[in-house]
Structure 1
Amino acid sequence: MSEIVIPAHNIKVLPYDICPSELTILKRINDHARVRAVAVVPEGEEDKYINMTKTQTSIEIKSEDDSGDTLLFKGIVTDIEVKAVRGVYYVIIDGVSSTFNLDLKSKRRSFQNKDMTYTSLIKEVIKDYSGADYIDIAAKSNKIEKFIIQYDETDWQFLKRMASHFNTGLIADASSDKPKFWFGIAQGGQKGNIEQFNYSVSKRIADFRVSSENYIEGIEDKDFTYFKVETDAILDIGDSISFMSKNLSVFQSTAKLKDGILIHEYLLTQEKGMSQDIIFNEKVKGASVEGKVLEIKEDNIKVHLEIDEKQNKEEAYWFPYSTYYTTEGQTGWYCMPELDDHVKLYFPTNKEEEGVITNSIRRRTQGGDFITDPDVKYFRTKYGKELMFSKDEIMITGKDGEVLIRLIEGEGIEIYSSKDIKIKADKGLFIESGKNISISAGSNINMECKDSQIEMNGITSIKGSKVKTN
């Protein structure tokens, strides 16, 4: 393995054109690459560095010598500070890789097509970033196979969570002025052997127990053994190294100036030790998102969520509808929302695929408003069928103003129909009154039983095989 000795005086920090007295470059999984450079600046020029730094000022750190330039870091400036210590002025510059641009704005959107591939999802997420790109190591042609929502997450946070579905992470590109990354950890091939010089070894027992119990299958405690070594060699995360007769991979990288030389400190582990725990979005637990009903089937609903600009009905996800009461037998309450109704998609856990449609949401409109008196309860369909409960009345309506039954507390029962009313009993029909029974008709009353008949139409006729009178 070739080693490159980089002395401090060969290192330049651009665009500031300064040589750092202190330098730290940190690279790790699921984080932006980060840099801090400290340099002495001439008196009288201390304000220049503050004034030249803007919101999108880039930072580039490279080594210059007779053999050419070696790029050590490229990204954007996040903080700059100038301070004076006993008359000596120092500038302190912090920067991150350009993937930081993916980590600024929290967003909400959904991905409902379960046949969508992870690669298509990633492309959709990064399409609005100029020059953004990625190398897919983990997803390949895998489909998402479930409903996924980005809820109050930055694109970087969301993509980290997607990578965790494969027990891997994101690796930021620290050599580009555009947001570029690896989706998964690239295996960089065997880079040679590191001598046993300035190293330490540790085992993360607690991390192993949590990961093995909850997130990652098939791991052993030895997979969580980490070696920290120092070398002059420049390596990337995922590169394979032989150390102490073990084949290990670079898990984390830290470059620092030490005694005037850039030294690289690497955290090495076995391949399974590179695995990442599954990440859940805790913000979605207990949250609700409003949507519009697109399609209904049995007790499932497709919705166009308000957080999405558009939603293809054919690609929409079938969500279960949560009714007030159901059983596995023949009893229960089945009352589905209507097409175009506004409903809520509720997430009871931190797993978005467990979301359920709960209740409809009322949108107030002008006119025809039944909801004026909180003492009156309505159950009504779009076809005009209604059940109304007030303080002293229950009314069942088949058609507004034409077919109804009223149960009035102070008056009794009223049945009204603009058409026929039919009463049929397979056995007996009993009519009993403690006082009076009144039957009236506008044109005719007719009562029949076998051969007997009574008809009243202005003239009363009584017929029967025998007629008895007193």
Structure 2
Amino acid sequence: MQALKMQQKKAAGGPAAPARLSIKHEGEAFPLENMTLTMEKHPNEHTKVRLRGIASEETVLKLMRSASMNADIELFYENSESNRKIFHGIIIHMDAEAQGIEAGAVHYLTIEALSHTYLMDIVTKQRSFQNMNMTYEQLIKEVLEDYPKSDFLHYGTAGDTLNGITLQYQETDWSFIKRMASRLYIPLIAHSTFNSPKFVLGVEENTAIYRLESANEKVFKNVEAFRSHANNHLASVQESDYLVYEITITGEHAKWLELGEPVLYRERTHYVLSVVTTVKNHLLSHTYQLSRLNGFFTPPKFNEAIAGLTLQGSVIKVSRNVLKVHLDIDPSQSENSAYWLKYSTFYATWYCMPETGDRVNVHFPTKDESDALVINSIKHSSSGGASRVQSTAGTGNASSATSISAVSATQAAPSIQAASTGGASAASKPNFEFSSLAEDNKVKMIVTEGGKMIILDDNSSSVSIVCNDSTFIRITDGSGISISTDMDITFESGADISFTAEEMIYMKATDKIALQCGESQMEITPEEIKIKSTDIKLNT
């Protein structure tokens, strides 16, 4: 009981005593006199330190010249009980000011520094995480592979998975992880006494050890935040969770508390929501903001740069109306872990999926990357169906094809010879070479991976359906409809087949023309005409 009372007395603050601060720069002691210190700690932010003190001109010049891009600085606080490291970070700004006559000028040096988590907040990156079964813990571990000796603790919901495609776009790793943590409604808390990036996700619910008492107290309530969180995020928060106490304790033995640490205040467990530590006129002071655990509730954050973004990639797998894409921003993409993206078709009844290997545009219509979809395919003459069309439809011999031609009524066909000439002309081989057609803006095409084509050509006023090099159907304004193939042509109907012409129906064969109806037959060969029937009538 006596020990607990002593702890309470120390936490509440003892008599004012000089604070003894010391500095190390790149591991070496750095002389700075009459120091003032401000150190701030807030959720989702790097620990920030601002130092100001008196140094010799030689010391100032040496520091300015030797400080590297990632200049290291350590701060220590010493009292009668211990020498405590209170900060280890990276210098981000320095300035010096001389006051007085040159010979006796006093040089004031100001240093600003951030915790080592700042190293994660410098370079912006672009990449995707498509494995929907990846946990947030696994994602963060992958991100931290770029930072030696980095580490983190996770007090969020263990095992939570991405459940969709996740995109890091023009974001630093710190901003990205902060956004991921907000999906779990928890903040990041930077650690500030290590020589590498270390942080905590969330706040651990725990039993208070220290009792805080202070005569200097402020109370405020963030009603706006409570209403927003309760109404927009279905958060199980109460109005009392947004009641914040701000207390200030001073003295040599004032308790050093970290963000998220539980304390007993007003007979209830509260958690440290923010810390501002100052040393001024040799007096140490801590200002703590205390709230209930739900006061750390963090609403989901979004990357506004994603809204309206379109990224290119290559199709690696297709299934029905969804496909997997290797985005260009990723050096590699496993097919098994890639996310199935929806393909946006022109209409609900239109189905025309890209093929494996096709280049596509992946569109992110909103700031939520889970809304991503593939909006169109980018056809290149060296990929997909294009290469197959060139190889199968680019050559052939139309003269060897069997053809059936329908000649329009506007074309005069007074004789068999004229009809024969017209039919041969209609069946002549058009140009179906993809590379040349693709360069003409008056030609529209639908092309499959296997080389099947539908061609709408304004130059020839034609519509062509191409199956392969020697099989096609062509409809033109001037010469009607032609069917060309070196295979059989079969007309089959469960009812009637009717041929009607205003002037003539023309049929031509090299070997034989045969007609059959029941038992009656007629065969025409180059040598003879055979007619077979039970009853033959001529000129009746």
Q: Same fold (TM over 0.5)?
A: yes
Match for 2:319: what amino acid? K
Task: State the partner residue of 2:41.
Answer: 27
- How far is the alpha carbon of 1:7 from its aligned partner? 5.1
Contact conserved, 1:11 with 1:64, CA < 8 A, in 2? yes
- How far is the alpha carbon of 1:449 from its aligned partner? 2.5
User: Structure 2 length as normaliser, TM-score?
Assistant: 0.81
The structure having more radius of gyration, on CA atoms, is 2
Question: Partners in 2 of 1:14 and 1:84 — Cα distance?
Answer: 23
- One of 127, 138, 161 as aligned partner of 1:143: 161
- One of 109, 119, 123 as aligned partner of 2:137: 119
Deviation track 1:25-73 (CA, whole Å, cap 9, x = no partner) reads 0011111100000112234554233113211111111123454311121
Contact conserved, 1:196 with 1:244, CA < 8 A, in 2? no
Question: Partners in 1 of 2:376 and 2:493 — Cα distance?
Answer: 40
Deviation track 1:206-258 (CA, whole Å, cap 9, x = no partner) reads 11122222235111222111111101321111122222333211100000124
Task: State the partner residue of 2:121.
Answer: 103
Map 1:435-454 → 2, pairs under 5 A: 435-454=503-522
- How far is the alpha carbon of 1:339 from its aligned partner? 1.6
Q: What SS does structure 2 have at the residue aligned with 1:314? A: coil
Task: State the partner residue of 1:175.
Answer: 193
- How far is the alpha carbon of 1:108 from its aligned partner? 1.8
Q: CA RMSD in A?
A: 2.2
Contact conserved, 2:96 with 2:107, CA < 8 A, in 1? yes
User: Structure 1 length as normaliser, TM-score?
Assistant: 0.92
Deviation track 1:139-178 (CA, whole Å, cap 9, x = no partner) reads 4333333322222211111111121122111111110111
Match for 1:127: what amino acid? E
Match for 1:145: what amino acid? N
Task: State the partner residue of 1:269.
Answer: 291
Q: Does 1:460 align with 2:526?
A: no
Question: Partners in 2 of 1:88 and 1:99 — Cα distance?
Answer: 34
Task: State the partner residue of 1:91.
Answer: 109
Q: Does 1:348 align with 2:365?
A: yes
Structure 1: tracts of 5 or more residues without a match: 327-331
Question: Partners in 2 of 1:446 and 1:362 — Cα distance?
Answer: 47
Q: What SS does structure 2 have at the residue aligned with 1:235? A: coil
Task: State the partner residue of 1:315.
Answer: 337
Task: State the partner residue of 1:50.
Answer: 64
Contact conserved, 1:185 with 1:238, CA < 8 A, in 2? yes
Q: 362-371 or 247-256: which moved more? A: 362-371
Question: Partners in 2 of 1:100 and 1:8 — Cα distance?
Answer: 31
After superposition, the Cα gap between the structure-2 partners of 1:20 and 1:344, relative to the gap in structure 1 and judged at 3 Å, is farther
Match for 1:375: what amino acid? K
Map 1:349-388 → 2, pairs under 5 A: 349-365=366-382, 368=390, 369=435, 370-388=437-455
Contact conserved, 2:31 with 2:55, CA < 8 A, in 1? no
Task: State the partner residue of 1:295.
Answer: 317
Task: State the partner residue of 1:337.
Answer: 354
Q: What SS does structure 1 have at the residue aligned with 2:325? A: strand
Q: What SS does structure 2 have at the residue aligned with 1:190? A: coil
Q: 437-446 or 360-369: which moved more? A: 360-369
Q: Does 1:18 align with 2:56?
A: no
Contact conserved, 1:33 with 1:174, CA < 8 A, in 2? yes
Task: State the partner residue of 2:269.
Answer: 247
Q: What SS does structure 1 have at the residue aligned with 2:37? A: strand
Task: State the partner residue of 1:426.
Answer: 494
Question: Partners in 2 of 1:335 and 1:66 — Cα distance?
Answer: 78
- How far is the alpha carbon of 1:423 from its aligned partner? 1.9
Contact conserved, 1:126 with 1:133, CA < 8 A, in 2? yes
Q: 127-136 or 312-321: which moved more? A: 312-321
Contact conserved, 1:11 with 1:19, CA < 8 A, in 2? no
Task: State the partner residue of 2:413.
Answer: none
After superposition, the Cα gap between the structure-2 partners of 1:216 and 1:151, relative to the gap in structure 1 and judged at 3 Å, is farther
Question: Partners in 2 of 1:365 and 1:340 — Cα distance?
Answer: 11
After superposition, the Cα gap between the structure-2 partners of 1:72 and 1:216, relative to the gap in structure 1 and judged at 3 Å, is farther
Task: State the partner residue of 1:329.
Answer: none
Question: Partners in 2 of 1:435 and 1:240 — Cα distance?
Answer: 100
Q: Does 1:157 align with 2:179?
A: no
Task: State the partner residue of 1:200.
Answer: 218
Question: Partners in 1 of 2:34 and 2:359 — Cα distance?
Answer: 60
| Structure with a larger share of its residues in helix | 2
Deviation track 1:327-369 (CA, whole Å, cap 9, x = no partner) reads xxxxx12222212222222222222222222222233539842
Contact conserved, 1:109 with 1:151, CA < 8 A, in 2? yes
Q: What SS does structure 2 have at the residue aligned with 1:150? A: strand
Match for 2:199: what amino acid? F
Q: Does 1:469 align with 2:530?
A: no
Question: Partners in 2 of 1:82 and 1:284 — Cα distance?
Answer: 42
Deviation track 1:291-323 (CA, whole Å, cap 9, x = no partner) reads 222222222212222222222222222222222
After superposition, the Cα gap between the structure-2 partners of 1:8 and 1:80, relative to the gap in structure 1 and judged at 3 Å, is farther
Contact conserved, 1:72 with 1:175, CA < 8 A, in 2? yes
Q: What SS does structure 2 have at the residue aligned with 1:74? A: strand
Q: Does 1:414 align with 2:482?
A: yes
After superposition, the Cα gap between the structure-2 partners of 1:9 and 1:224, relative to the gap in structure 1 and judged at 3 Å, is closer
Q: What SS does structure 1 have at the residue aligned with 2:64? A: helix
Contact conserved, 2:187 with 2:296, CA < 8 A, in 1? no
Question: Partners in 2 of 1:413 and 1:374 — Cα distance?
Answer: 24
Contact conserved, 1:455 with 1:462, CA < 8 A, in 2? yes
After superposition, the Cα gap between the structure-2 partners of 1:225 and 1:95, relative to the gap in structure 1 and judged at 3 Å, is same
Task: State the partner residue of 1:82.
Answer: 96
Q: 432-441 or 228-237: which moved more? A: 432-441
Contact conserved, 2:316 with 2:356, CA < 8 A, in 1? yes
Question: Partners in 1 of 2:159 and 2:500 — Cα distance?
Answer: 77
After superposition, the Cα gap between the structure-2 partners of 1:226 and 1:373, relative to the gap in structure 1 and judged at 3 Å, is same
Contact conserved, 2:73 with 2:88, CA < 8 A, in 1? yes
Task: State the partner residue of 2:408.
Answer: none
Deviation track 1:68-125 (CA, whole Å, cap 9, x = no partner) reads 3111211010000112345542111000000111111111222222222222222111
Deviation track 1:174-225 (CA, whole Å, cap 9, x = no partner) reads 1011111112224564242222411211111111122222235111222111
Q: 201-210 or 421-430: which moved more? A: 421-430
Contact conserved, 2:19 with 2:284, CA < 8 A, in 1? no
Match for 2:89: what amino acid? G
Q: 64-73 or 75-84: which moved more? A: 64-73
Question: Partners in 2 of 1:166 and 1:450 — Cα distance?
Answer: 79
